[in-house]
Structure 1
Amino acid sequence: MDGLENDIKENKNEELKKTVNKKIDKNFEKLKKSKKEGTNSEINKSYEMIKMVRGCQNDDNIFDFINVEYKKKYITKGINNISENINETNLERKKSEYIFFESINSYELKKYKTSDIIFNLLVDITKNNMENLYNESNFLNKGWSNLKKQKEFMSNKCKLILGFKNVAKNDEKNEEKNEEKNEEKNMNTSGKNDTNDNINSEKDENCPGNNINKEGEINFINVLKSNNPEKVEEYLKDNKLVCFVHYRIIPDYYPYEKNIICYLYEIQIIPDFKGVGIGSHLIYMLESLCKSIKINKILCTVLKNNINAVAFYKKKCLFEMDENSPDNFDTDNSKPCEYEILKKEIIL
């Protein structure tokens, strides 16, 4: 009898275990399904965002997706020049100089009659920096071409970041007011640290690139929309275009075409403003965009004879040779290629 009772108890325990295990399995499957649906939802959201940015026809700009603090980069141009006589006041003024950035797609830019002014300026800056390098390397067997470069900038796929430096001369009273404001800000912000080394946390109401949503603000995009060439020229006279980026959101090279990447076509800085950290700041902006819209790679093409650019990408920004770079397909009979394709993988 005791043996029978034990058998019954064991059977009941086994049935109970099976029932409990079934419930656990059922709940586990529900949890897996829920996670999968959540993952799919995130993937779909990311896909739609990339699709929108890639389309370039939604009047979007990079600051819709990254921290607006990237709109300004403080520089200390000229401080290391030992031949320059700098007193304490001038030193502080130089430390407060900055570049401010605006962003627009060429699709939008071409809607305005005044767009030729900026397209011509982009070509001029690029030509000044690159013409000799293109011709020396006989880049793609063509060398430099104004027409081809302008065509690149005017492509509907072209996305632009424009960097301006305010060069308008203020009278002494305005300068004194700005100095007083800076002193007040220094007192109010002492002891506070920037939580991100790549961006500037300090706000400046005098920066033409700040407060982009304020009605009636005078910035380049709004001036451009006026379709008034005189206003555009006047703005550019007071706010010099010192750098720009041309990038596109496009498929990767074969056989990775399903992967959408950020292709850096141009990063150009006028000679007087090189070596002050602007290039790194622009790369940080693209990295931030990629993280925001879930793109895992930045690509760029660099001429081998552009030694400074190669060093900048590889040593400072930690780019490396991409799998599709021509040097990876060298044979004994191959002619040396004048360029290489570099990549920077983005950790999402």
Structure 2
Amino acid sequence: MQTENLRISISFESDYSDEDIKDFPGNWNDEDIFIEEVASDVVYEHFTKAWRNLYPLIEGKTINSICIGIDILGINNGLARYYHEDSDNEEGNYGFAVGPYILYEYFKKYWDNTYIMDTITDFVWEHEILHMLDHNNIIEYRYHFYSNDVRELLVKHLLRFRNEGIAELFYILRNQGSIKTIEAARIKFKENFDTIVTLPWKEINKINQIKEYIDNNSLYYTIGPWLILHAIYINSDKEGRNLVRKMAEHIKNGSEAEMTDIMLIIKLALTIDNYTFIKSITEPAEDGIAFIEKEHITSLAQKLNTIKHKRIIPDSDSEYNIENAKLVNLFNYFL
């Protein structure tokens, strides 16, 4: 659906005071200027720009409504977010939100057209819309906030590289990636996994520390796209592999890929489901090297499989039992 036909509703997620908005750029004391109107206008402008950029991937998808919440108080962490739990892929109803940092940048641009926003802000909606396009894979495995099953945490950690890697592809292929080669990405991934191995998995009172580390790991965004390119290469035909090589050269040389090629590579990325991604991590690429040897992950998985922390979720919680069984089944790939 083209932007002119989109049903987009934009609203503030919470009340605010004059004190809450005093540091935002703009003269909000002027009785003729309303922050709600300006905020809605700038969010709409930037969201629809991203929608147009990704339209070749969106075309043909059922889109009934888009709801965007403005989190002006920063109650939730993050620059912006896609509400996958509250979205309905079958009906085509999707929810998003934007935080105060992005809004601040939008206001600066609104009041000073010469202002150049940082690139993360400029491409934030492409990232979130790609999460929307990846909806079914994102919701396939659900994680209970109170679960202390360490097997789930390992799966969550690995799949975050997939989810954020796909969402970040547009950004890095517009010459914004900080890791320029797959060799550098492999080194970073292995270093990170070595850190994961040393986390206090056996200490039940440290589970929240592990969850926090997993949730706040910025490497998902920098290494993730390389893991996705690796998975595409392994699971593609000759044409797909040539495209991966071409994208890798663009990143290495610091040049922007053509938009048609970016759309093609993201389309391939969206075919990499969760199980395929998990398998691909330990499979060798063209040079015979994997991101990490399967034995390395298996060693940790075997250790985690022996840890039986006292369950704090009632045994009668059948919904959790179903989701936990799915996660454990994926975890068992490494045993």
Normalised by the size of structure 1, how large is the TM-score? 0.25
Q: Between Structure 1 and Structure 2, which shows a larger proportion of helix residues?
A: 2
Q: Between Structure 1 and Structure 2, which shows a larger proportion of strand residues?
A: 1
Normalised by the size of structure 2, how large is the TM-score? 0.26
**Structure label with greater radius of gyration:** 1
